[in-house]
Amino acid sequence: MVTIRQLTDQLTRDLQAVYPAPEAASVAAWLVEHLLQLDGLQRRMRAAEPVEPAVAPRVAALLPRLLRHEPVQYVLGTATFLDLELEVTPATLIPRPETEELVELIAREQAGRRGLRVLDVGTGSGCIPIALARQLPDSQVHGLDISAEALAVARRNGQRYAPQVQWLQANILREGPPGLGAASLDVLVSNPPYVRASEQALMRPNVLEYEPHTALFVADDDPLLFYRRIAGLGTTLLAPGGAIYFEINEALPTETIALLTAHGYVAARALPDLSGRARMVRATWPGHSSPVQPDGV
């Protein structure tokens, strides 16, 4: 009978057909832990134990999907985000470490404030508002998305981890968030589509062929489309002193800061992720005493 270690090693070898060796090992370990309901430490401590025969057909059913570059998170239906195990489907982006860093930045800067009013635009799986609702007590948190399918996933995740989060559906390019009026927010956050169409050639098949393109890509001739629209909405929705936070394309921090400044935001700055890349921008809305440029800026 095959042991846990042998199963993990065999899966690692199989997955090297589509992943570099370190990533193949990580995906294999994740799959084994999921199938056997173990955490990483338990898998290593029990490596010499035999695997029940019933596991083999489950591996046989899942492995071909992984070998077609389907992300392991979609194959298993879950993704880890901070301390959360979230449901994900092809209707939602797979949460990334950079987005965890964005949440941690907001939680750090807003710590100690009660009754915050927060909106996440383009919520997908709901990872940002759910995590913020857990880290910022007594906050009124909303998550908005255009996709009914994504919102259904977000609601299920919210029911598990943060049932107080409110979910909204709207096409943010055409309308504002339903039910939210002037100066109704203290924090506006978004990880909007920011990958330029020309950058698709740099992306791996597991992203390009499976994750929702509407949540990923923008036209090369208007890469800040969503930032411009959300920043414009923020000039009405944010109370004076409110903060706006974006995850950004690392190639466009200067342009994103310039856009926010043109809309009247102050103290706009880019922040690096743990790899040193400019992946976040934050700014403060001072109120309408500062001149605001037209929405076309």
Check whether residue 23 and residue 132 sit in a common domain.
no
pLDDT tens digits, residue range 53-110? Answer: 999 999 999 999 999 999 999 999 999 999 999 999 999 999 999 999 999 999 999 9
What pLDDT was estimated at residue 292? 44
Check whether residue 127 and residue 272 sit in a common domain.
yes
In angstroms, what CA-CA distances link 294 with 262, 264, 284? Answer: 9, 11, 18
Question: What's the pLDDT band for 156 if we cut at 50, 70, 90?
Answer: very high
Q: Tell me which amino acid residue 124 is.
A: G
Residue 294 in any domain: the answer is: no
Check whether residue 43 and residue 120 sit in a common domain.
no
pLDDT tens digits, residue range 9-24? Answer: 999 999 999 999 999 9
Question: What integer is the mean pLDDT of 270-294?
Answer: 83
Check whether residue 273 and residue 185 sit in a common domain.
yes
Percent of the chain with pLDDT over 70: 97
pTM over 0.95: no
Q: Which two tokens stand for residue 241?
A: 């002193």
Residue 239 in any domain: the answer is: yes
Residue 208 in any domain: the answer is: yes
Element (H, E) at 254: helix 253-262
Check whether residue 59 and residue 192 sit in a common domain.
no
Query: What does pLDDT average to over the chain?
Result: 93
Q: Which domain holds residue 273?
A: 89-285
Task: Please name every residue paired with 78 in a beta bridge, in sequence order, or none if there are none.
Answer: 87
Residue 290 in any domain: the answer is: no
Residue 297 in any domain: the answer is: no
Check whether residue 108 and residue 10 sit in a common domain.
no
Check whether residue 41 and residue 128 sit in a common domain.
no
Question: What integer is the mean pLDDT of 38-67?
Answer: 95
Check whether residue 191 and residue 59 sit in a common domain.
no
Check whether residue 168 and residue 268 sit in a common domain.
yes
Check whether residue 170 and residue 108 sit in a common domain.
yes
Check whether residue 60 and residue 128 sit in a common domain.
no
Q: Give the integer Cα–Cα distance in Å for 228 and 196.
A: 15
Residue 268 in any domain: the answer is: yes
Residues 6+ apart with CB under 8 A from 106: 132, 187, 189, 243, 245
What pLDDT was estimated at residue 295? 46
In angstroms, what CA-CA distances link 129 with 88, 100, 218? Answer: 15, 11, 23
Check whether residue 132 and residue 180 sit in a common domain.
yes
In angstroms, what CA-CA distances link 200 with 194, 196, 206, 275, 292? Answer: 11, 7, 12, 22, 34
